[in-house]
Amino acid sequence: MLYLPCPFCGQRDESEFVNGGPVKPARPDDNISDTEWIDWLTVSVNPIGYVEEKWWHAKGCGKWFTVNRHTVTHNVVKADEKIT
């Protein structure tokens, strides 16, 4: 079972949350090609290692927050904690 550290409610079971996916990089400038724009819209990051993800506490406080989750071990740390 995955447990997530809601910054408002504390540590909770993953069944209370909805995953909003990885945090996307900043929106690109207007001076990009159509191919680059389509890639930014559709291609998601899927590395081995820590990924910053958005989570919604749907069955709790209803707030959105971000965490860093390791894609292999599922180790979760708060977004503002240092990853080692």
> pLDDT (tens digit, 9 = 90+) per residue, 39-53?
988 987 778 999 999
Q: Where are the domains of the chain?
A: 3-26+34-78
Phi-psi sector, 10: left (phi>0), alpha (psi -120 to 50), beta:
left
Entry pTM: 0.79
Question: 57 and 35 in contact (C-beta within 8 Å)?
Answer: no
CATH dotted code for 3-26+34-78:
3.30.2270.10
Q: Is 80's pLDDT higher than 70?
A: no
Confidence of residue 1 (pLDDT cuts 50, 70, 90): confident
Confidence of residue 24 (pLDDT cuts 50, 70, 90): confident
Q: Is 74's pLDDT higher than 70?
A: yes
Average pLDDT, integer, range 22-26? 86
